[in-house]
Amino acid sequence: MTTLQDCRTMDAQDPLRELRDLFALPEGVIYLDGNSLGVLPRATAQRVARTVTDEWGQGLIGSWNGAGWFDLPRRLGDRIAPLIGAQPGEVVATDSTSINLYKVLSAALHHAQAEAPGRRVVLSERDNFPTDLYIAQALCRDRGFELRLVDGAQVQSSLSTDVAVVMLTHVNYRSGAMHDLAAVTTAAHHAGALTIWDLAHSAGAVPVELAGAGADFAVGCGYKYLNGGPGAPAFAWVHPRHADRFEQPLAGWWGHAAPFEFTPHYRPAAGIARYLCGTQPILSMVALECGIDTVLAAQPLGGMAALRRKSLALTDLFIALVEERCAGHGLALVTPREHARRGSQVCLSRTDGAYGIVQALIARGVIGDFRAGSADGGTPDILRFGFTPLYTGFEEVWHAADHLQQVLQGGEWRRPEFNRRHAVT
């Protein structure tokens, strides 16, 4: 049995432990939902206040240049780049993940139409994050493509000659299962298809080597492991070999080669800048910058490789503790045990009660989240726990498992107050 003292020893030996001080964690909370909304960095409040009071309040319109607002999408993109295996100048922080997916999928379909007109299929995973599927459905319908959905394990064997684009989320939002980005990209290219990777649950959580894998397009989220705050702008990356070749249809002035010439005809900027569209929400952008900086703060301590080591140690520990302490309570591990296939979360399923268990844990200060299964029962209800190596400690994992055991043993999760449903994100 793993003891509390074992966990304290792991914390004491954790080379990343000091990074927790970068965050304003609430007292009495064990936060295992950083895969949904990252914790507030300590630097953010002051940075946002400065932008509101000084840059906007005093600098007014002059701050577009004077405070560098106009450059934020590219500057933040440059800071995200090393976290995803990209180079400066290849990434922009902008808009939402859904919108960026629309842009890159549209560009990929233009590519297919130009160079492989026989390929009319976008291949994705049946339980991809829904918004990805919705965006692809709309775009495929408008462009005369077919969205073909298969099980995650069947992606590579489904690479038929009619596939134009493989569009996947790297780490599944429900299960925490991770695709082999490099292997799928290689297989897709071998089959003549392009790849689009949604890094929503990857950027800042697991090492990603987009250029190393030779991937084509990627998008990702600013408010999960990048700690950018609620609804922080997302990001888009396009491999330089494609960046200048295709336009995306959200062709607004921020993506123009010379936006302040105010010419009536669109002339796309070179490179990734053409994936910008309209004016960006600056208050949310500066908060995103503080969030990215918390991940970059790990660079001198080993960077994404060190974060990954700790992430796996945290999820290994949680799995072990749950199996040691909650056996016989009907929990099943959904997240892959194999390291190479696991993101930075642990998901458990239970045939009933998952919602109440999550609510009972939240009442105890252990914040995870619930994801409903499919109505036909094909997919079970899920208890989802995200582990953020920047701020989650091993002792917290011990207490989280301990609370879970208590909630299950005492039947606490059956209480009515834990079973009134409302919308969750």
Residues 116-145 that bind its own copies (CB under 8 A): 126-128, 130-131, 133-135, 137-139, 142-143
Does the annotation count 198 as an active-site position?
A: yes
Which residues have C-beta within 8 Å of that of residue 352, sequence separation ≥ 6?
381
Q: 326 Cβ partners below 8 Å, 6+ apart?
A: 401, 404, 405, 408
- Residue 269 interacts with its own copies (CB under 8 A)? no
Identify whether the C-beta of residue 297 lies closer than 8 Å to the C-beta of residue 19. Answer: yes
Q: Cα(273)–Cα(243) distance, rounded to whole angstroms?
A: 9
* 385 carries an active-site annotation: no
Stretch that binds its own copies, among 35-43, 153-161, 311-319, 399-407 (CB under 8 A): 35-43
Interaction of residue 327 with its own copies, rule CB under 8 A: no
The nearest distance, CB 367 to its own copies, in angstroms, is: 6
Question: Please, which residue, 205 or 287, has the CB nearer to its own copies?
Answer: 287
346 touches its own copies (CB under 8 A):
no
378 within 8 A of 425, measured Cβ to Cβ: no
Interaction between residue 312 and its own copies (CB under 8 A): no
- Footprint of its own copies on 215-244 (CB under 8 A): 223, 229-234
Active site residue 384: yes
Does residue 40 bind its own copies (CB under 8 A)? yes
d(CA 33, CA 175): 14
Q: Is 294 annotated as a binding residue?
A: no
Catalytic residue flag (residue 103) = no
Task: Give, as ranges, the residues between 46 and 65 that touch its own copies (CB under 8 A).
Answer: 48-49, 51-53, 55-58, 60-65
- Choose the catalytic residue: 74, 103, 174, 224: 224
Residues in the chain: 425
Query: Please, what is the minimum distance in Å from the beta carbon of residue 128 to its own copies?
Result: 8
Alpha-carbon gap, residue 207 to 203, rounded angstroms: 8
Taking the least distance from each CB to its own copies, the nearer of 50 and 329 is 50
The answer to whether 140 touches 131, Cβ cutoff 8 Å, is: no
Strand partners, 148: 123
- Part of the chain binding its own copies (CB under 8 A), chosen from 6-14, 84-92, 273-281, 388-396: 273-281
Position among 95, 216, 395, 396 found at the interface with its own copies (CB under 8 A): 95
Residue 422 makes CB contacts below 8 A (sequence gap 6+) with none
Per the CB < 8 A criterion, the answer to whether 195 and 182 are in contact is no
Measured in degrees and rounded to the nearest 5, phi and psi for residue 370 equal -110, 135
SS3 280: coil
Binding residues for pyridoxal 5'-phosphate: 97-98, 129-132, 169, 198, 201, 223, 253, 279
